[in-house]
Every structure is written in structure tokens, then in C-alpha cells.
Amino acid sequence: MAGENERVCVTGAGGFAASWIVKLLLSNNYIVHGTIRQPGDSKYDHLDKLEKASENLKLFKADLLDYESLCLAISGCTGVFHVASPVPFPTTITDPEVQLLEPAVKGTLNVLKACLEAKVKRVVVVSSIAAVVMNPNWPKDQVKDESCWSDPEYVRSTKTWYYLSKTQAEAAALEFGRSNGLEVVTVCPSLILGPLLQSTMNTSSWLLPMCFKDGFEKISFKYWTLVDARDLAEALLLVYKKSEAGERYICTAHAIGLEEVVDKYLKISHPNYNYSQKLTHTEEEEEKLSSEKLERLGWSYRPLGETLIDSIESYRKIGVLD
Ligand SMILES: NC(=O)c1ccc[n+]([C@@H]2O[C@H](COP(=O)([O-])OP(=O)(O)OC[C@H]3O[C@@H](n4cnc5c(N)ncnc54)[C@H](OP(=O)(O)O)[C@@H]3O)[C@@H](O)[C@H]2O)c1
């Protein structure tokens, strides 16, 4: 059976995207070491309820800035899915170096060093399209592919610290792989939506509820490129098994203006909310991204309606829409 007896580690196992990867790996008979920062916290309860968790999931207390704790979690694993990285609300960032850059960049290097020490064969690093799209020199009408990188100096000048953290962390990861002979593959997802496995909201999942709660004006980007967390999990396992080392993959499924999200989907599934009449996006905000490289490896994705409806249903279940 696929994955039988193979031991892999997932960093930040309790997070939104990582929980789906843990679930997929367990269902494919992998033995999973998951890192979490606060063992005993109820925010990880969903992990114990995953199918095969009681036999095949082992949780380790580890922080990205605590090298020894990572070594203990990664020891004995042949593969690592490095998912953990801070994803704060932009308004809560007061010290970008401490809150974002250090855990993202130094944390990623700590994970990779621990992988080298443990003789891990392959590491899949979750980056972001934040590391792809902020490139003012890219021709305006040209679709962005994996050869496009956000320009760190430009990103720094705009103070979009999360973007900087992902750009620097991904570049450092690929460089570390090249210079140390470690197989590193990076995956750059767009906005991740989809149902929650955990019972608390993560940052990106707030975007849809904000549409119901008169929060449109606060949503800073009104054109979304997005992917379902379940399809992202499939993509991560696919590149783990099939990619060449040192490759980079954009992982995005749909591109849509917020007005279309509301008119075509939300107003139909939830007609009774008081939607803003003034919804539009500008052409400037439109992002042309390609996941063709990932699709050539065999990746496919579900329809947008399924992602939106399943997401909303899961927010309703945890009481966020009340
Ligand atoms: N959500 C999106 O739209 C989106 C889009 C593109 C890429 N990504 C990337 O996808 C990954 C997962 O994002 P997510 O949305 O699933 O976020 P999330 O739910 O907030 O999960 C982030 C995880 O990172 C862990 N973490 C943060 N700082 C850490 C540290 N210093 N040491 C150890 N663990 C730490 C957290 O662990 P604890 O809970 O144990 O504290 C948490 O499990 C991130 O790398 C993010 O950059 C996200």
C-alpha cells in the first residue's frame, strides 16, 4: 500500500493547511511525526480524531527556532513537509523581524539542517505565491510562472512583511538544498480556502466570513487566486513522490473577482445577508498565474463552488457566521 511504513514529519501539524496534509498522509498509510508548539492545547484536538491517528500519528513539541526540538521530531523520518510559518493579520505586525522573518527564514534553515543531520531524503517546503507575484519588472500581460520571483528589495520597500518572509524563506530553502545535496522541492499556493479540520479560525479563512459581516471594505484584495486546502494536500504529496529535486511549483486553481464570488456563489447559497452593492475589483489587482507545471505532474483540482460551499459550512459549524 502507498506510504506503508514510511515515516515522515509535518511541521506545524495543527495548522489549517498542515492538518489536511496530515490527514492525507495518514490515509495513505504513512507514519506521521507532527510538530506542535503547545501540547495539551485543545486547538490540536482534531488531530487525534483523524483516521489512523491513534496508531500512526505521533506529536512532538517543537518550535522553529529551537533546533534541538526539530531534530527530535525529524529523527527517523525519510521525508519532511515543512508547512509551519507565521501567517498573522497584517494589522498585528509590530516587529516584523521577530514575528515573521526570523521564524520563517531561520526556522526553515533549522528544519533543513535537522533534515540533513537525520539523513532525510526529501523535503517539501510550503512557500506561497507571495514569493512569486511582487515583481515590478515582470511584463504586465505575461502569465506568472515558476521563473517569476518577488523582488525582495521591492517587497521590503512596500513593508509587506509576510511577502518578504515567504520570499526569503523559499529562496534560502532552495539554496540550502543545492549547496548541501538535500532534495528540496517548494510549492507556492495561492490563497488557501476550504473546510477547516481544526475548530479555530486561521488568518486566510477569515476572508469569506468577512463577506457576510459587512467586512468587504476591510478586504484589501478584491481579486482572488485561490486553491482548496484538500487539493493543496494532494499537490504536496504528488511533488513529494514525483518531482525532480530543486523544483518549484505554483499551486493555484481559480482566479475570480470578489464581486463574482458574491454574485455567483454567496448570494445563491446565502441570499439573506446584506451584501455590499459597491463591489468591484480593478484590472490592476488581477493576477495571472499558471499551475501548468503542477498539472503536468498529474495534479487536478475541484470546482470553486465546492470549495466555497464546504468552507462556509465549516465556518457555520464552529459558530463563526452566527
Ligand atoms: N493560508 C493561506 O492562504 C496561505 C497561502 C499561501 C501559503 N500559505 C502557507 O501555508 C502554510 C500554512 O499556513 P496556514 O494558513 O495553514 O496557517 P496556520 O493555520 O496559521 O498554521 C501555521 C502553523 O505554523 C506554526 N508556527 C508558526 N510559527 C511557528 C514557530 N515559530 N514554531 C513552530 N511552529 C510555528 C503554527 O503552529 P502552532 O499552532 O503549534 O503554534 C501553525 O500550526 C504557511 O507556510 C503559510 O505561509 C498559506
Per-residue pLDDT tens over the stretch 226-240: 999 999 999 999 999
More confident residue, 142 or 275: 142
First CA to last CA distance, the chain: 43
pLDDT at 1: 61
Mark whether 121 is an active-site residue. Answer: no
Beta bridge partners, 185, equal 124
Give the pLDDT confidence score for residue 202 in this predicted structure. 97
Q: How much distance in Å is there from the Cα of 12 to the middle of ligand 1? A: 6
Mean pLDDT of 297-302: 98
What residue's CA is closest to ligand 1, atom 44?
85
At residue 167, the pLDDT reads: 98
Domains of the chain: 7-204+227-252+286-302 (3.40.50.720)
Residue 214 has pLDDT above 70, yes or no: no
Higher-confidence residue of 150 and 3: namely: 150
Residue 283 has a pLDDT of: 86
Task: Name the catalytic one among 43, 140, 166, 213.
Answer: 166
- Given ligand 1 and candidates 37, 47, 250, 251, which is best to mutate, with the most ligand atoms within 8 Å of its CB? 37
Ligand 1 and 36: CB distance under 6 A: yes
Per-residue pLDDT at 212: 77
What is the percent of the chain where pLDDT is above 70? 98
Is-above-0.95 flag for pTM? Answer: yes
Is pLDDT of 217 > 80? no
The mean pLDDT value for 196-216 works out to: 88
Asked if residue 14 has pLDDT above 80, the reply is yes
